[in-house]
Amino acid sequence: VDYMAYMLRYDTTHGKWPGTVDHDGGDLIVDGHRIKVSNELDPSNIRWGDAGAEYVVESTGKFTGAESAGVHLNGGASKVVISAPSGDAPMFVMGVNEDEYQSSMSVVSNASCTTNCLAPLAKGIHDE
């Protein structure tokens, strides 16, 4: 958590954080707001409900399927967004097909960073 605090405080892209960044050895504290930090490798062991988390972004790249990413739901999360392409989870790209999202979906993919950069441009060209 020490390195996490450092990286937020001195981000190479966005610059120095304008507020306060600290930690207590277990939680990250940003501008006085406590953020639970976990280093658990097995997502089925993370108690998201205890941390007050409703939405989880699965961005490890390891759990990209609906079932494997869906184990976050067992820990108390209400929704899971996979930040990589998925072979079986519904996939959405803002500006392309986000209108197809249904609130009943509990695990979805937001595709990849490459897709999110290229798809809106390709859609615009295709629509013309």
Residues marked active site are found at 113
- In the chain, what is the greatest distance between 2 CA atoms, to the nearest angstrom? 54
How many residues can be counted in the chain? 128
Spatial separation of the C-alpha atoms in residues 58 and 52, rounded to whole Å? 16
- Let me know: does 87 contact 105? Beta carbons within 8 Å: no
- Let me know: does 24 contact 16? Beta carbons within 8 Å: no
CA-based nearest residue to 39, from 49, 31, 28: 28
Token representation of residue 60:
């490890």
Token representation of residue 31:
């501008």
